[in-house]
Amino acid sequence: MKPNIFQYATKELSQDAFIAWLLDWANPGNLIHDKDLHHCALDFVQMLLGTEGKQQQLIIQSVAVELQWKKIDVTAEIVTTEGRYLLVIEDKIHSAEHSEQLTNYQKIAADRCQTTGCELRCVYLKTGNESSNTLKNVRAKGFRIVSRKQIIGMLSEHTNVQNHILQDYKSRLELIEKTFREFEDKQIGIQHWHPSDWVGLFTMLDENEAIIRWHYVANPAGGFQNALLNWHGWRGVCVYAQLEEEKLCYKISFNPEDAEVDLEALDLDKIQDTWQSVLLKNAQKSTDASIQAIRRPNRYVHKGTWRTVAIVDRQNWLGKDGELVDVQQVINNLNAHKKFIKDCLKSESFNV
């Protein structure tokens, strides 16, 4: 494989530099240096501004790029024949928003626009994978999402660009995209699944609304990728199902922040055992093979904030060993488990 600078320059600061570099190429004076790269940069600006769907492209007169202005990753003041824009870009690879940074950045930029007369455009540029649940919160704060797939698609329209920096960046994004889809060609239970495989699967499930959200859970054992299927209140606490990589776990939350009652007044162990009993009894009555496979964990304990009360082994929701993942069948299985919990909550036997 040909050496690629972005194989080594993997941090967000390196991506900031690439974004700033490509934005700068949209300046009219750079047309004489590389016409094809300049036209690619113009499309990049249009995509970031959200004006790429217009019949007539913006005529860009100047682009002034700044890095880390007021701690914002990339800022660009863009002058066009139709007006001035202040483009604010929060660049993320694998990390997510923290500490209300987007709200703060938007306010700072809006204040600048009051002075300069620019129209504010805020972009959350994401080249890794992130749960749609957290991206929904990003949109609610006034940021457009520009994804890895969108960038690859835009760059792929400029096959005539010979610039090695741009080619290397596109190749790096394509490799990331390929990595998150490698699980599709791996035999279940035979070929080792890396964290990126679980992220790839959970992203696909997320896109098909089979899960609510997914994220990484850190713990002393090394952590794992986690996907939440549902969340229901019962007797003042919450019951739910989640994927802890290859295990489908039925859980109960005794987190005070989730509870609607004073937990100290409850017999938590009894509530836990009752929920388990209802799950196991109703699973035996089911005609669905994946539901019938719900079982008691090998290690069942009465301690912890988020307790596992029942599990489903990998072969009974993901697929049998040696098979390839059938994503639609996985979605069907997970939907069956979500419906099962709802049915349990409505059943008379739940009132024991």
Handedness of CA 254, 259, 265, 271 (dihedral sign): negative
Average pLDDT over residues 237-246: 97
Task: Dump pLDDT digits (tens) for 93-120.
Answer: 988 888 789 999 999 999 999 999 999 9
Average pLDDT over residues 233-238: 91
Average pLDDT over residues 212-218: 95
pLDDT of residue 350: 45
Q: Which residues contact 330 (CB under 8 A, 6 or more apart)?
A: 201, 205, 210, 317, 318, 319
Q: Which top CATH class is 5-179?
A: alpha beta
Q: How many CB atoms neighbour CB 224 within 10 A?
A: 16
Average pLDDT over residues 9-28: 96
Task: Dump pLDDT digits (tens) for 306-347.
Answer: 999 999 999 999 999 999 999 999 999 999 999 999 999 987
pLDDT of residue 349: 45
User: Residue ranges of the domains in the chain?
Assistant: 5-179, 186-351
Confidence class for position 55, pLDDT limits 50, 70, 90: low
pTM of this structure: 0.91
pLDDT of residue 53: 63
pLDDT of residue 223: 93
